[in-house]
Structure 1
Amino acid sequence: MNIVFMGTPEFAVPSLEKLIESGHNVMLVITQPDKPKGRGKKISYSPVKECAIKNNIEVFQPPKLKNNKEIFDKLSQLNPDLIVVAAYGKILPEEILQIPRYGCINVHASLLPKYRGAAPINWAIINGEKETGITIMYMEKGLDTGDILLQMSIPILEEDNSETIHDKLAVLGGNALIDAINKMVDGALMPVKQDDSKATYAPILEKSIGLINWQKDAVEIKNLVRGLRPWPVAYTYYKGNMLKIWAAEVYSYEGKEKPGTVIYAGNTLVVKCGKDALKILEIQSEGTRRMTVEEYLRGHIIGKGEQLEGI
């Protein structure tokens, strides 16, 4: 099958690699334009571009898709059987969706119709879901509303966070993609319409989402911590200074202190929540590296009974 692949970040790389390994003809890779990165503002390639170059596949990086005659003409000339999209970063206009004879399919990191939108992995963890997965779906004008072609699921374990689930789903996405394409070639796919009444939305992450509300249950706060790695990271304030919380666990506690109160500070840090308490495991203060709480408390004094500030 002749395929055009569209993707940008690390999540999309296993899907591209699987396509290449499967023997399908990846005619072209479309990815976001190169961007300056780091303090030196050195131009950086996307992970997908790096993969394409390594495999001698032509790369095209249009600044926009909508009303772009160049990209439309290029795709029309190539006349691919299928366009595969995995975390490309822009919505495909209708004129592009209509080009390939098998349509355009997307590798989406949730079990649709749950978590349509930009940050499905993060919101599934923040909301305490016990499983997630990959949906291979037809693309249409709506946001992640197309017919479902295939789904694969995995459990979200207590020790998982958005980074570990991202990596697991990236691999699963590649496997699900090849399975779906093989079934498509064999005529064995049965598209299923999404039940819009069960749809939930996973909006783009903003830094403000990370501010901890200590009135909430410790389980909810732990899920926020798990779901916001590596950005924007859950955070609180101590005497006006931001403290980023990278890892934490629930600490069973029935005391009556005000939520946000430090109830233990020695070689660890335990903070009262609306229900139970949160044992902080990894922390980062402004201008320092991320470290264990034990390391942090060797150089910083936070006393029992002091207050951490949040919402």
Structure 2
Amino acid sequence: MRVVFIGTVEFSRKALLKLLELNVNVVGVVTKAKSEFNSDFANLVDVCEEQGIGYKYVNNINHPNNVKWIEQLKPDVLFCFGWSSLLKPEVLTLAPHGVVGFHPALIPANRGRHPIIWALALGLNKTGSTFFFMDEGADTGDILNQKEVLITSDDDAASLYNKIIEVALGQIEEFIPELISGKYKRIKQIGEGNTWRKRGKKDGEVDWRMSSKLIMNLVKALTRPYLGAHFVHNSEEYKVWKCEVGTTEKLTNIEPGKILKIEPDRMLVKTGDGALWLTEFDEIKDIAVGQYI
């Protein structure tokens, strides 16, 4: 089975290494030299050069020159794991078995953008890892393999990302023999599902009027490898990477955003229904107890 691999993030790299570990015949790799928006960007070229695999840096994968490059490799299937733009029919129809894509959610639920971030920000207790046959829609094609991934109260973006990768690599081991033999199932997506929108900068801003739980969810969702939740003080933006519950008392006579305590390496801030300790955050200029953020 001849495979052309498309990807440009950390999961792409680990999936490519897994395919090579399974002795899959990867005949070409399409990737990017850099990314302006993938915070988990990974360059795949060192793997390609070490393994003697031809590769091509692209910006627009649907450009005729890139389509021609893939076509001449005569792939049986394309794997597209970690690519943020839609593939047009010219690419989708290049291989007899089509293009297998990946989405870290239980599609048809939660198609669309930023699925790990939204799952944590919304406080979901589970998500998923889904490999599917790509069509012209966004995450709408037939499912090849899907597994549930539980989200615990201790999870943040990094731990959930790693959980999903671990599950996904196991799925690859399952479906590769099926693809090679041609004995695989295409499972139709049932129900309309939903599609998460692209996040904007405002979605990452902490509003201290929110509950402590919602603020913690937001911080967990946006912590590394992502860009971090932020708040604004004196017109300057500061990142917060970790926080923990400081009190669940109502403190009804204290306004949200007020600094209640400052200790070495942490700061207690009033929230909508209690208070949170910020335990990892940017150093704030000219801050004191009693001030507001």
Provide TM-score, normalisation by structure 2: 0.88
Whether the 8 Å CA contact 2:31–2:43 is kept in 1: the answer is: no
Name 2:267's counterpart in structure 1: 269
What whole-Å deviation, never above 9, does each CA across 1:102-138 have from its counterpart, x for those lacking one? 1110122222123322311111111111122210001
Q: What secondary structure sits across from 1:242 in the alignment?
A: strand
Q: What does 1:1-311 correspond to in 2, within 5 Å?
A: 1-32=1-32, 34-35=33-34, 46-66=42-62, 68-203=63-198, 205-230=199-224, 231-251=226-246, 252-256=248-252, 257-267=254-264, 268-285=266-283, 301-303=287-289, 305-308=290-293
Secondary structure in 1 matching 2:3? strand
| Contact 1:139–1:145 (CA under 8 A) maintained in structure 2 | yes
Which ranges in structure 1 are unaligned for 5 or more consecutive residues?
A: 38-44, 287-298
What amino acid maps onto 2:89 in structure 1?
Answer: E
Q: Aligned AA for 1:271?
A: V
1:161-188 CA-to-partner distances (Å, cap 9, x unmatched) read 1122223323332221231222233454
Q: Tell me which amino acid in the other structure corresponds to 2:249.
A: Y
Counterpart CA distance in 2 for 1:202 and 1:192 is: 25
CA distance in 1, matches of 2:16, 2:197: 24
Contact 2:110 2:193 in 1 (8 A): no
Are the counterparts in 1 of residues 206 and 215 from structure 2 also a CA contact under 8 Å? yes
Further displaced range: 54-63 or 257-266: 257-266
Cα deviation, residue 237, structure 1: 2.7
User: CA distance change for structure 1 residues 140 and 36 in 2, over 3 Å: closer, same or farther?
Assistant: closer
Q: Which runs of 5+ in 2 are unaligned?
A: none
Shift of 1:245: 0.9
Residues 143 and 106 of structure 1, relative CA distance in 2, 3 Å threshold: same
CA contact (8 A) 2:251 2:273 kept: no
Structure-2 change in CA distance of 1:270 and 1:61 (3 Å): same
1:273 CA displacement: 1.5
Q: What is the SS of the residue equivalent to 1:47?
A: coil
Q: Aligned partners of 2:119 and 2:75: how far apart in 1?
A: 34
Report the equivalent of 1:290. Answer: none
TM-score if structure 1 supplies the norm length? 0.84
Q: Give the stretch that moved more between structures: 226-235 or 95-104.
A: 226-235
Alignment check: 8 A CA contact 2:34 2:43 kept = no
Indicate conservation of the 8 Å contact 1:8/1:89, yes or no.
no
CA drift of 1:46 comes to 4.3
Superposed displacement of residue 218, structure 1: 0.7
Q: Give 3-state SS (helix, strand or coil) of 1:197's partner.
A: coil
4+ residue segments displaced more than 4 Å: none
CA distance in 1, matches of 2:189, 2:283: 44
Aligned length: 285
The amino acid of 2:263's aligned partner reads G
